[in-house]
Structure 1
Amino acid sequence: MSDVFSYESFLGERRREVLERVARAAARAGRDASEVEAIAVSKTVGPEEVLLAKRAGWSAFGENRPQELVRKLEALSGEPDMAGARFDMIGNLQKNKINQVIGRAALIHSVSSAHLAEAISSRCVARGIVADVLLEVNVSGEATKSGLSPDEARTGAEGIAALPGIRVLGLMTMAPARDADAARRTFSGLRELAAELRGRTGLALPTLSCGMSDDFEVAVEEGSTLIRLGRCVFDQGYALSR
């Protein structure tokens, strides 16, 4: 029991530290910290740790794999302390896993192609539901990353947004690892692309999902509204930089 209490205390203290850093980064950019939401990426922990994180103040969680999303939702479905929690799908989504995600994930961050958007659309229509989604854009151009190219986003966003059964709320990207300058260019590029798409399409695109444990402060400075934090939330051995 003492170990559980100690870990929950760590989760609460780390959350306070993260939110303080978010507030300072937002202030540096002339933003209000209330514009930024942090989600706890729970892909490496079990339902027990998610429950402790919810008790420590986290209310939004992110999963990379559809089967883990389903497992955690089922395991935690009877927990009163999980009331008000939401789970997002943040990882690559294969077409044969769509039915596991729609109707369960509050937001799908990783719509990486028009074909995937069309598949999500058709399955949502068949079930009479609407899925909130983000378009994943490979702003950095790295071959190892998935997503629409910026040009594909420019030419395809309006058509994707017109599909029935989905609601495009914004854009998502991932930055190169361990390169602060490249991360800043990537995040500012996403912000600029979103502004361009708003002008081209009339879409509001209020959500920019970018920034993870190693670079979330830079992301906030560059306009992120949704940061995805895993290691810095759950790993007691992870030391926040800066």
Structure 2
Amino acid sequence: MSLISDNLQAVLSDIRRTELQYGRPASSVRLLAVSKTFGTDAIIEAARCGQRAFGENYLQEALDKIAFLKQSVPEFTLEWHFIGPIQSNKTKPIAEHFDWVHSVDREKIAHRLSEQRPPDYPDLNICLQVNISGEDSKSGVSPDDVLVLAERISGLPKIRLRGLMAVPAPVTDFVAQREAFQRLHALQNQLIARGISLDTLSMGMSSDIHAAIAEGSTMVRIGTGIFGSRNYAK
């Protein structure tokens, strides 16, 4: 077996063990393979092992990969997730080429995605990115503003608000990791109580995956744990 195959199996086994450990339903957590900076060969290798959902941060890099893979491996129906910051002048290609967007944090972005989603495409799944740790350097809507934003965009056509996403401040303490994810889960529950139907918590990466699953994550975003170390110089 290849390194990517071995890594995928190890990550999936870890997810299933953690689900069991914290009383989560089996297979309630999806794996999003974060393929930014990795080439199409790596994505094809992961797809051949059964992985279908891939996350990308950089738009042009992602568009090149999507176009190439559609032609090169049409037998694989891949699901593309945009997880990076969104510039308002880049929403059209995102609306046209992705299945999910995890990083919506402004009403303007949601409206543009709604207007620019092709009418014959299924609704675009979106998550609101929440700056759960209040970091100046991080994108995301303030926790205090999530409800208003969700209410304003939840009825827009051609997009479907699925849930919340966060990248908390990095900490190594497991209890502190859980506290950040617990706050995001509580926000989701507040929105559900207000009648906004949500089913997704996109939270947890390689360094905090166990805390995220313990606090209700339904989708974890793993890159280096599957593909190895990144070379950003490329």
Same-fold status (TM-score > 0.5): yes
Q: Which residue of 1 aligns with 2:86?
A: 93
The separation in 2 between residues aligned to 1:71 and 1:49, in whole angstroms, is 14
In the alignment, structure 1 residue 42 sits paired with structure 2 residue 35:
yes
- Aligned CA-pair RMSD: 1.7
Superposed, 1:66-81 pairs within 5 Å as 66-80=59-73
TM-score (norm 1): 0.88
Task: With the length of structure 2 as denominator, give the TM-score of the two structures.
Answer: 0.91
Q: How does 1:8-23 map to 2 (within 5 A)?
A: 9-23=2-16
Q: For 1:33, what is the secondary structure of its paired residue?
A: coil
**Does 1:102 find its partner at 2:103?**
no
Cα distance, 1:109 vs. partner? Answer: 0.5
Unaligned runs of 5+ in 1: 1-7, 238-242
How many aligned residue pairs are there? 227
Name the counterpart of 1:193: 187
Among 187, 197, 217, which residue is 1:204 paired with?
Answer: 197
Q: Which residue of structure 2 aligns with residue 240 of structure 1? A: none
Q: Deviations over 1:163-210 (max 9, x none)?
A: 22311011111121243343211111111110111001x122101100
Q: How does 1:117-136 map to 2 (within 5 A)?
A: 117-124=110-117, 127-128=118-119, 129=121, 130-136=123-129
- Aligned partner of 1:163 in structure 2 is 156
The whole-number CA distance in structure 2 between the counterparts of 1:82 and 1:143 is 43
Q: What displacement does 1:135 show?
A: 0.7
Q: Which residue in the other structure is 2:106 paired with?
A: 113
Deviates further, 226-235 or 25-34: 25-34
Residue equivalent to 2:170: 177
AA at the equivalent of 1:137: V
Per-residue CA deviation, residues 68-112 of structure 1 (Å, 9 max, x unaligned), is 121001111123375122111011111111111113111000001
**Stretches of structure 2 lacking an aligned partner (at least 5 in a row):** none
Aligned residue for 1:18, secondary structure, equals: helix
Once structures 1 and 2 are overlaid, which stretch shifts more, 38-47 or 51-60? 51-60
Match of 2:218 among 191, 216, 225: 225
Distance in structure 2 (CA, Å) of the matches to 1:85 and 1:47: 12
Contact 1:9 1:56 in 2 (8 A): no
Structure 1 residue 121 displacement after superposition: 2.0
Question: What letter matches 1:215 in structure 2?
Answer: D
Whether the 8 Å CA contact 1:23–1:32 is kept in 2: the answer is no
* Aligned structure 1 segments of 4 or more residues deviating by more than 4 angstroms: none
Q: Identity rate of aligned residues, in percent?
A: 37
Structure 1 residues 234 and 81 mapped into 2: Cα distance closer, same or farther (>3 Å)? farther
- Residue matched to 2:47: 54
* Contact 1:175/1:182 (8 A) holds in 2: no
Contact residue 154 and residue 197 of structure 1 kept, 8 A: yes
